[in-house]
Structure 1
Amino acid sequence: MNFKQDFFEQLSGFYSQVYPTPITQPHWLGWSDDAAKLIGLTQPNDELLMQLSGNIAAPDASYYAQVYSGHQFGGYTPRLGDGRSIIMGEATGPHGAWDVALKGAGPTPYSRQGDGRAVMRSAVREFLISEALAALDVPTSRALAVIGSDLPVWRETQEQAAITVRLAKSHIRFGHFEYFCHSEQGRTEKLTQLVNFTLAQHFPHLSADKAGYVQWFNEVVESTAKMIAHWQSIGFAHGVMNTDNMSILGDSFDFGPFAFIDTFKEDFICNHSDHQGRYAFGQQPGIGLWNLQCLAQALSPVIASDDLVAALNRYQTHLVAHYVELMAQKLGFDYQVSQHQQDLTLIGQLTTLLEANQLDYTQSLRQFGQIDIHSQHSSLRDNMIDVDGFDQWFSRYQQRVGNVADMRQWQAQRNGVNPKYVLRNYLAQEAIIDIEERGDNRKLKQIQSVLAQPFAEHAEFEDFAKRPPEWGQGLIMSCSS
């Protein structure tokens, strides 16, 4: 890997230098060829394994943990930081520069009495979801690899430590700006320095002046809205939308107790610590705005409040427009700005039907690739308990789609945007059990392979597309997972 060190060299005081604590008996559990190509790597090897497990230093790597704060479940924590993640630097390759972070590499000054480790189950889950979302064309950080070990760590019970090697176009979070806004030392100076660095690195088309700052915040609002629209369209619940888990680039980031919805529920909660449902699936659009409001408050020393409010007022427009555009592709009608409200109503009526009839979200949308728009009968209709309600909706839907000249082409297009396979929590859990109990990572590799092509038919892995078994329905994960 070839590193540059812009963050490390230009932002002294924004991090602490800290070196990984080696793990014992490191071994590859998972590797992403697609992620490797981003930074010019090919195949994994022993030397790279030792570098990414913290056992030997990588040339040109700097090793540091960033400091930031954040609102966690609505309450402000003034000092968080990378408690179990150590950044090596920005690896340069054919697809630009990507931060390389070792998540689970040992304690840092921000570990807050923690051991700085990631348990194997959380490392495997982050590896799989990062690559799964990328294959679904959702803005996201990536995962180069997951590295196992025989190092014991304690959570509720003894578990195995592991490291996820995360790639991100940036690790700068909303919480970075909150920290330097609310810090008493060099408040405006440090905040301005961070904003200027962010623009230079990630928004080079913008000038480092008041006009550039305003345009930048508008772009952050829009990219955040688009990310969440993607989540809602594929039935993805992040689970921990704290401001320290929000990327300034609008990339999905910091995965803990995430889940794809199986049986559709608007109020689905995937995090067992979320007792009030703050981060329930249906709450994500509103929480996105709430987090942007926290960011706006942090930026108020450098951007006028009227400009911040004006940008925030565009959030809902961006989110609805992108969501309707994505769902129009999934349902097979032409996207038209003038039809937004009618289309949003039509989409909402469909999700209401899915919830009332307790249907699987991913499977139901996939069935639009089998529908004959000129016929009332379909496999989706056959799954409905409220057939009359569906027929009424389908009649309105037929009118919206209109005449389809080439039905096979139309159906193929639906299968090209509605995945057959998503990372269901029970599948990840089965892979984790195989590794824990038998040291067998074949299931992990199979799941990864299927999720890399989620729209294709995989005859030998047809079971991966089925609804969860009884034990796997509605799995709720912990933040340590």
Structure 2
Amino acid sequence: MTAIDNHYLDLPEDFYRTISPEPLPHAELLHSNRQLQQQLDKNFSDELLLKITSGNSPELQSVAQKYTGHQFGYYNPDLGDGRGLLLGQVYDSTGQSWDLHLKGSGQTPFSRRGDGRAVLRSAIREYLVGEALHHLGVPTSRCLSICHSPETVYREQPETRASYIRVAKTHIRFGHFEWLAQRQDKAGMQKLADYVIRHNYSHLQTMQGEERYQQLLSEIIEGTAQLMAKWQAVGFCHGVMNTDNMSVAAETFDFGPFAFMDDFKIHYICNHTDTQGRYAYSQQPNIGLWNCQVLAGAFEAIAGESIQQKVLDRYIETYNAHYHELMAAKFGIRDPQKLNKGFIADTLILLDQSALDFHYFFRLLNYFDSEEHEKFTGYLPDSKAWHKWLGQYAELMLDEEDPHSIRSRHNPQLVLRNYIAQEIIEEAQQGRHQMLADWMQYLQTPYQVPESLTEKLHRYMQPPPNNQKGFALSCSS
């Protein structure tokens, strides 16, 4: 068996509870992520993956982590791993450690009123979205393997059970530090911060005192701001940006009712339980900042009390610069300074008003300066506003060298829309798993679909029909 050590056990015992998973009865391995294994420099057999993913590896010292967090803006002291267990870590060839976390592993002391299990539907969604985001260039947790069981789990309706192994650089959340700050545990804060530095920010190990922790906080915030910019640029909505769902490694983490945008709506809400729109697409950058300010407040005990304004400034500066750079590339502009911020805003407003498909619009931009320019202009409404926009864009494109290649690298042909995920789920629920395997392959090349697949995937590369747009999902799993 490949060595799986759990260095989280080096932390104080009250940081976790040691517990064994509740095995899945009659488990079947639906899929193993071979590409991820290669990146981890590992070669797990399917037999071993079935054993670990189904919760049948009692030799592993698995733990449920304790943390707290703000959920929809309200502090909840009673959080922790309620349906997942940290199995341990493996190391790749560079020495980077990667957490293996078993989701859907059964009840823990932090399950509250939940059963700790997961259903096939949500397991497949997380399995797919990790690959989708990763290959779009967005930092994210990913999944190594997924198991299915005929055991019935009750959510909105009876469903079958599943479990999966999530891989991430760390499972330390903003909420871990909130928990320690709430306890006024300065020594614990330092131990956890040192743990994060040792395993995820090792270049900071030579620094000492408050400066060490200030720099850690600064890099977490910078990474989070860049992550928010990437989400916005690829039209991704997380749906539940609670502080306990924010990773200190600045990776997309803890998926619930996520969605990639269809028709562009600035205030799109993908979570139907988010009745106030706290986590709408338009609010994600602001919530990212809010969460960072909460983290900075927790860090005051070890990093000093004069850091809040620095946090605000660092986040805003980083987010604005990175988002501007990403959007310039989507428009095919090499130098971001050439692009006026107002033009970005005007474009998004027009997309919203015209209900145009976000991804399709930007992909069609490649026809703007080609002989087939009508493929783009024909997609736009015939209005004064769009005619004015076309003139402005034409001016921006003057003297641009090879905008086609820039746009092609930043505007995907293939996106994991919710209706696609639902088709894959429905196939799997009928015992047919080939579509899942196929899409794990398709998602690896979103920016340039292989010519051999363009006919097969043609309909998925178009805007979806109205009855397949804008699914709003709940947090149930």
Q: Same fold (TM over 0.5)?
A: yes
CA-to-aligned-CA distance 1:383-412 (integer Å, 9 cap, x gap): 12244322212222222232245xxx5323
- State the partner residue of 1:126: 126
CA contact (8 A) 1:144 1:167 kept: yes
Q: In structure 2, what residue type is equivalent to 1:33?
A: R
Q: CA deviation at 1:307?
A: 2.5
Contact 1:196 1:208 (8 Å CA) reproduced: no
Percent pairwise identity: 38
User: Equivalences for 1:59-138 in 2 at 5 Å?
Assistant: 61-94=60-93, 96-138=96-138
Q: CA deviation at 1:94?
A: 2.4
CA distance in 2, matches of 1:29, 1:376: 43
The 1:311/1:151 distance shift into structure 2, 3 A limit, reads same
> Does 5-14 or 66-75 show the bigger shift?
5-14
Q: Distance in 2 between matches of 1:286 and 1:376?
A: 39
Output the CA distance in 1 between the equivalents of 2:346 and 2:165: 41
- Counterpart of 1:449 in structure 2 is 441
Give the Cα separation in 2 of the matches to 1:54 and 1:392: 60
Alignment partner, residue 361 of structure 2: 364
Question: Within 1, Cα distance between the matches of 2:314 and 2:340?
Answer: 19
- 1:327 is aligned to 327
1:13-39 deviations in Å (ceiling 9; x for gaps): 211111111001211223222211233
Does residue 198 of the first structure (1) align with residue 203 of the second (2)?
Answer: no
**Counterparts of residues 428-443 of structure 1 (less than 5 Å):** 428-436=421-429, 438-443=430-435
Match of 2:10 in 1: 9
Structural mapping, 1:273-422, within 5 Å: 273-337=273-337, 339=338, 343-372=340-369, 377-404=373-400, 409-422=402-415
- Rounded to whole Å, the distance in 2 between the matches of 1:372 and 1:472 is 31
Please, which moves more after superposition, 137-146 or 251-260?
A: 137-146
Asked whether the equivalents of residues 324 and 335 of structure 1 are also in contact (C-alpha less than 8 Å), the reply is: no
Structure 2 CA distance, aligned partners of 1:431 and 1:315? 37
How far the C-alpha of 1:305 sits from its partner, in A, is 2.4
Q: Distance in 2 between matches of 1:363 and 1:44?
A: 40
Does the CA contact (< 8 Å) of 1:369 and 1:413 recur in 2? no
1:264 partner amino acid: F
CA-CA distance at 1:451 after TM superposition:
1.2
* Secondary structure of the structure 2 residue equivalent to 1:305: coil
Residues 331-376 of structure 1: per-residue CA shift (max 9 Å, x gap): 1112345x5xx52211111111111111100111111222217x89
Match of 2:419? 426
Q: Is the contact between residue 293 and residue 311 of structure 2 (CA under 8 Å) also seen in structure 1? A: no
1:252-271 pair list within 5 angstroms: 252-271=252-271
| Separation in 2, partners of 1:335, 1:254 | 35
Does the aligned pair in 1 maintain the 2:324–2:336 contact within 8 Å? no
Cα deviation code 1:288-311 (max 9, x no counterpart) = 011111111111111222223212
Q: How does 1:129-168 map to 2 (within 5 A)?
A: 129-168=129-168
Residue 151 of structure 1 aligns to a residue in which SS?
A: strand
Q: Secondary structure at the match of 2:298?
A: helix
Which aligned segments of 4 or more residues in structure 1 are displaced greater than 6 angstroms?
none
Contact 2:333 2:400 in 1 (8 A): no
SS in 2 for 1:434: helix
Deviation of 1:377 (Å) = 4.3
User: After superposition, what is the alpha-carbon deviation per residue over 1:106-135, rounded to whole angstroms, capped at 9, x for unaligned?
Assistant: 111110021101111000000000011000
1:231 is the counterpart of 2:231: yes
Please point out which of 453, 460, 463 is paired with 1:464: 460
| Cα distance change of structure 1 residues 377 and 48 upon mapping to structure 2, 3 Å threshold | closer
d(CA) in 2 for partners of 1:334, 1:430: 38
TM-score by length of 1: 0.94
Task: Determine the C-alpha separation between the residues in 1 that align with 2:422 and 2:22.
Answer: 27
Instruction: Give, in angstroms, the shift of residue 43 of structure 1.
Output: 5.8
Cα RMSD for the two superposed structures: 1.7
For 1:51 and 1:315, the matched residues in 2 are separated by 39
Cα distance in 1 for residues equivalent to 2:34 and 2:368: 36
**Is 1:46 aligned to residue 43 of structure 2?**
no
Contact 2:334–2:400 (CA under 8 A) maintained in structure 1: no
Secondary structure of 2:457's aligned partner: helix
Q: Please give the alpha-carbon distance, in whole angstroms, between the structure 1 residues aligned to 2:116 and 2:41.
A: 29
Deviation digits for residues 454-474 of structure 1, max 9, x if unmatched? 012332211222222333211
Maintained 8 Å contact 1:246/1:252: yes
How far off its partner does 1:237 sit?
Answer: 0.2
Residue in 1 aligned with 2:36? 35
Amino acid at match of 1:154: Y
Query: In 2, are the aligned partners of 1:238 and 1:258 still within 8 Å (CA)?
Result: yes
For residue 249 of structure 1, give the secondary structure of its aligned residue in structure 2: coil
Return the offset for 1:431: 1.0
Cα 1:11/1:277, change in 2 over 3 Å: same
Deviation at 1:162, TM superposition (A): 0.5
